[in-house]
Amino acid sequence: MRGHIHILGICGTFMGGIALLARELGYRVTGSDASVYPPMSTQLRAAGIDLMEGYLPEHLQPQPDCVVVGNAMTRGNPLVEHLLNSSLPYTSGPQWLAEHVLHDKWVLAVSGTHGKTTTSSMLTWILEHAGMAPGFLIGGVPGNFGVSARCGDSDFFVVEADEYDTAFFDKRSKFVHYRPRTLAINNLEYDHADIFPDLAAIQRQFHHLVRCVPGEGQIVHPHGVPAIDDTLAMGCWTPRVSFGIGTEEEAKADWSAQLLAEDGSAFRVCCPGGETLDVSWQHCGRHNVENALTAMAAARHVGVAPEISAAALKAFQGVKRRLELLGKPRGVSLYDDFAHHPTAIATTLQGLRARAGAGRVIALVEPRSNTMRMGEHRSQLTAATAAADQIYWFQPAGMDWSLESVVEDSTVPACVAHDIDELVAQVADEARAGDQIVIMSNGGFGGIHQKLLDKLLEAPPQ
């Protein structure tokens, strides 16, 4: 046993991944969280990790060798205060990862406002398909692996690189700790209004990340995105590779794609050398085609031929909670999606609209992120949901503003719900065969996923 670490906030996807890596490396791992819940609690207990509910000072008895502090921890938390008063060694999750896992690896980091989890999962699966046995830490559970993290059996490590702050004692973005050799920047928009005052503040953190990429590395980014171009113009010492979709982009980007199916389920890739490859897969949406181009370009940097990447994408199983099909009760397709930003909502609904054909696209949306709760994106929500046929907005308790204003401006039928059970009953009653219903939230949404699935299963056909 290499020592004992205790993790605060262990059931979050990132900190849970740290716990799995530490256990695999031979550490004794324990952890505390405000609530211990599946699926992460199931993963952790299966790995032999002791979980404790709440944040109590006695959780640090017997005394661990080090406490790894999640970024949800704040001053005033009783366990944090006990930790500081006791002078126990402590560090952040990103710092622990950098020092104990990444220090001797070729790190492939996937960053950006949207699509990090899906693109990281695609890239990891491509490397796995190519026989490279990569390690990874992803903020979700890739279907091809069934776990969110592993150490791997090679020099390559894929990490989802989040711009959120590191810890209460380290306000740098998490990703500056990772020192990637291959960096993907999917996109760059304003988000995380609780810690960033404006887009320029986020760009500054991305600039700090770019400063860490070696001159012999590579940066993969979309062609012609002003927020990214301006960030790279602050200083870039690394070769860049671009990607884009459409005929106009084909002439300008190093990697490009043409949609062969309107819903993105088939596309043609034009590689830097002029080679073209056709991909047909089970996924939809222009955004996923962009994610695929990002993953293919990043994989090429570590030697994976495009045809290997294309073959891997055809077998890519997706990620839990990223347009995950929960079932098809009485002909209704029910999806769970993590979308929590207007752009992510829009691209997901557009992909479903193209796939649905004559069927309806119905969205149940809980604006739960800190940025959404603060109302920073309220003016964009009407346009973001325009591809749907019906929108049910759920008003979370404690939100600073009313969703009625969004309903008033909506170009499609919309309403606001305040009770989960009433919403479930209404949607189940109105659903009919051929509908595509997507539940959109970055949280548990009051257990609505299983409730609606059960209700649809028991309801008579319309």
CATH code, domain carrying 65: 3.40.50.720
Same domain, 377 and 307: no
Which of 271, 289, 314 lies at the terminal end of a domain, its last residue? Answer: 314
Which of 57, 92, 127 lies at the terminal end of a domain, its last residue? Answer: 92
What percent of the chain has a predicted confidence (pLDDT) above 70? 95
Same domain, 14 and 83: yes
Position 98 in a domain? no
Position 117 in a domain? yes
Residue numbers of the domain that contains 35: 4-92
The model's pLDDT over 190-233, given as tens digits with 9 standing for 90+, comes to 776 678 889 999 999 999 999 999 999 999 999 999 999 999 99
pLDDT of residue 251: 65
Position 437 in a domain? yes
Same domain, 135 and 236: yes
The band of 374, judged by pLDDT with boundaries at 50, 70 and 90, is low
Same domain, 190 and 210: yes
DSSP letter (8 states) at residue 460: P
Burial of 47: CB neighbours in 10 Å, binned 0-12, 13-18, 19+: middle
Over the chain, what is the mean pLDDT?
90
Closest CA to 191 of 206, 208, 213: 206
Closest CA to 65 of 28, 12, 99, 16: 28
Q: What are the Cα distances from residue 306, in Å, to 79, 273, 328, 424?
A: 49, 10, 35, 45
Closest CA to 55 of 80, 90, 21, 87: 80
Position 97 in a domain? no
Evaluated on CA atoms 424, 428, 430, 431, the torsion sign reads positive
Same domain, 430 and 358: yes
* Other residues' Cβ atoms within 10 Å of the Cβ of residue 458: 10
* Other residues' Cβ atoms within 10 Å of the Cβ of residue 44: 25
What's the total number of domains in the chain?
Answer: 3
Same domain, 17 and 131: no
Three-state SS string across 138-184, please? CCCCECCCCCCEECCCCCEEEEECCCCEEECCEEEEHHHHCCCCEEE
The band of 181, judged by pLDDT with boundaries at 50, 70 and 90, is very high
pLDDT of residue 79: 95
Record the pTM.
0.85
Same domain, 115 and 174: yes
Which of 282, 314, 346 lies at the terminal end of a domain, its last residue? Answer: 314
The band of 372, judged by pLDDT with boundaries at 50, 70 and 90, is low
Same domain, 126 and 49: no
Query: Which pair of tokens denotes residue 185?
Result: 């920047």
Same domain, 167 and 282: yes
> Does the pLDDT at position 404 exceed 70?
yes
Query: Which pair of tokens denotes residue 150?
Result: 């592993």
CA separation for the pair 166, 159 (Å, rounded) = 15
What CATH number is associated with residue 278?
3.40.1190.10
First to last CA, the chain: 60
CA separation for the pair 443, 437 (Å, rounded) = 17
Position 99 in a domain? no
Helix, coil or strand: residue 107: strand
The model's pLDDT over 318-360, given as tens digits with 9 standing for 90+, comes to 887 777 888 899 889 898 988 767 877 887 888 788 777 778 9
